[in-house]
Amino acid sequence: MSAPDPWHFLRQHTDARVALGRTGNGLPTEEVLTFQLAHAQARDAVYAELDDDLLKNQMVEAGISLPIRSVSSQARGRAMFLQRPDLGRLVDDGGDLPETLQCDVVFVLADGLSALALHQNGVATLAAALSHLASWQVGPVIIAHQARVALADPIGHRIGASFSVVLIGERPGLSAADSLGAYLTYAPRPGRQNAERNCISNIRAGGLSPEEAGHKIAYLLTQAQALGATGIALKDDSTNLIGTDAPAS
């Protein structure tokens, strides 16, 4: 018989594995099986392939009419991507990047460590951000395969974007395999450091909604444009109320 855990009420506040109960000296069978399922889902998310057609169809359904380009990093395949993070930050010269455009911002949809997160939350987050950036000149949407966060640096630099925003699948945990991250970088170029970026994390149904994340992205971009910087110099003091427009650029 499983003994009830006295802290079970905490589970209504978090997806973390707390107050699991016990059977003798071990966990209840249900919790063991749930853990194994979550572990399998996390592994599947890491190895899932990015589906360009799915993203393109989602953009059509969302009314996003921006040009779409597809690129890959220099990591050849998933195994190399996982073993060589450095190659995931370098653009394959055979990519489909346009010539210099000089735009305000370029959005990069990247698989990262969970293509599932991008499939489920990427386009909705992009659409929400664009709804607050009507006055901005937005470059083509770049779909990036085998991509790390810093891959947006050479992409943004080559296009001539003032900002890059990469929407990327985060490392799956045992409570969420579909968590999306957004990383904003001012004046993207190779060699940018993580301290020069702003991150919005845990974008998913059980965390920060795509609508809220899109508002926060637009707000931070507008603030960063006025400041001329992202990263540790830029603080998020937004109210993050859905339906509240970001300050005019």
Asked, for residue 81, whether it belongs to a domain, the answer is yes
- Alpha carbon distance 15, 207 (integer Å): 10
Tell me the CATH number at 177: 3.40.50.11240
Closest C-alpha among 103, 121, 104 to residue 112: 121
Q: What are the residues facing 200 on neighbouring strands?
A: 182
- Alpha carbon distance 116, 123 (integer Å): 12
Quote the percentage of the chain above a pLDDT of 70. 93
- Alpha carbon distance 27, 33 (integer Å): 10
- What pLDDT is attached to residue 168? 98
Asked, for residue 25, whether it belongs to a domain, the answer is no
Paired tokens of 173: 């945990």
User: For residue 234, is pLDDT > 50?
Assistant: yes
Asked, for residue 165, whether it belongs to a domain, the answer is yes
- Alpha carbon distance 174, 34 (integer Å): 10
SS (H, E, C) 64-81: CCCCEEEEEECCCCHHHH
Asked, for residue 3, whether it belongs to a domain, the answer is no
Q: What are the residues facing 68 on neighbouring strands?
A: 141
Q: What is the pLDDT of residues 8-53, one digit of tens each?
A: 888 888 878 888 888 888 888 988 999 999 999 999 999 999 999 9
Asked, for residue 246, whether it belongs to a domain, the answer is no
| Count of beta carbons in the 10 Å neighbourhood of residue 68 | 17
Identify which has the larger pLDDT, 100 or 220. Answer: 220
Reported pTM: 0.88
Q: What is the pLDDT of residues 188-230, one digit of tens each?
A: 999 999 999 999 999 999 899 999 999 999 999 999 999 999 9
Asked, for residue 27, whether it belongs to a domain, the answer is no
User: For residue 141, is pLDDT > 50?
Assistant: yes
* 60 phi, psi to nearest 5 deg: -60, -45
Q: In whole numbers, what is the pLDDT of the chain averaged over residues?
A: 91
- Looking at the structure of the chain, the number of domains it has is 1
Helix, strand, or coil here: 121? helix
Which residue range(s) make up the domain with 146? 52-233
Q: Calculate the alpha carbon distances from 75 to 71, 79, 165 in Å.
A: 12, 8, 21
Question: Residue 185 in contact with residue 192, Cβ under 8 Å?
Answer: yes
- Alpha carbon distance 101, 157 (integer Å): 10
Q: In the Cβ-directed half-sphere of 78, how many Cα atoms lie within 13 Å?
A: 13
Asked, for residue 4, whether it belongs to a domain, the answer is no
**Predicted confidence band of residue 239 (pLDDT cuts 50, 70, 90):** low
Identify which has the larger pLDDT, 74 or 98. Answer: 74
For residue 25, what are the contacts with CB-CB under 8 A and spacing of at least 6?
none
Asked, for residue 21, whether it belongs to a domain, the answer is no
